[in-house]
Amino acid sequence: MNREAVRVLVLSGHGINCEEETAAAYRLAGAEPEIVHLNALVGGHSTLAGYRVLHLPGGFSFGDDLGAGKALANRIRYKQLSNGRTLFDDLLAFIDAGNFIFGICNGFQVLAHLGLVPNTGGRYEQEVTLAPNDSGRFEDRWCTCAAASDARTPFVQDLDIVTLPVRHGEGKLLIRDENIRRAILAGSYVAMTYCDADGHAAKAYPGNPNGSDLACAGLSDDTGRVLGMMPHPEAYLSAYNHPAWPHHRRARGGGFIEVGEGLRIFRNVVNAARDRPAEAGVGSRVSGGEEGPPTR
């Protein structure tokens, strides 16, 4: 196994506010994270070249003024770089090169608006959105989630039922039409669902904190290397982050584990990136290379 360092670009700026704890998560998972401002990417001062993981953290990018994640998605898709490409062109090349993208909360919303998840049709068109919660309010609490046993993505492998915090006002997954819904189910794009204590899908509030279709808490693309998730695993890196940690410690006695359940997800991401080398030559399409944008 190749144990070389996995470099992670953690995006920041314009209302993103979870970059520091996200970088800490990757550091604890054995990677080398670097926090890079969006302006550095669109201004040509930094590129995706050399990174194995791009992380879009949680927050309120551009104040969510056009809907959660919409303005940031538009900037990525349409802002032209000095070389005539867009950052979206670079994201497609980044994925083609065998790299990984992980978006949490606001980052999930951005991935959905860009059509990077679930992308069942392979055309990078928006197939889902994340709408205001059914409760009509911002949900800031812990919830129970179940990793799908048949998930396409390695990000949730070896996970079963986990508790993670949610912090969002627009987290209700809506699917564009029935054909896409069927494709999501048939292709096992749902990576994680909101559930009860026994692992059964939570279709109603409060188990389902937003009213998401399919009780979906996490959704991947067809490659399994791009994942969007509404709960915040970066907020559960230590068992002591959980508000009920004293109870867990007493209940488990000598078997108490101090690692938070969220850190296991980041370890999966880093291990997946480490175990699958980037494809030689393909990555040259990222800004600074000679090749043009990928043909679709």
Residues annotated as catalytic are 105, 232, 234
**C-alpha 193: how far from its chain's center?**
14
* Radius of gyration of the chain measured on its C-alpha atoms: 18
Helix, strand and coil in the chain, % to nearest 5: 35, 25, 45
Is there a contact between 267 and 29 (Cβ–Cβ < 8 Å)? yes
Sign of CA dihedral 187, 146, 192, 207: positive
Q: Which strands make up the sheet holding 226-229, listed edge to edge?
A: 32-37, 7-12, 53-56, 100-104, 226-229, 216-220, 190-194, 139-147, 161-168
Q: How many helices (H) and strands (E) does the chain have?
A: 8, 11
Residue among 10, 7, 191, 31 at smallest CA distance from 99: 7
> What is the C-alpha to C-alpha distance for residues 207 and 211, in angstroms, rounded to an integer?
9
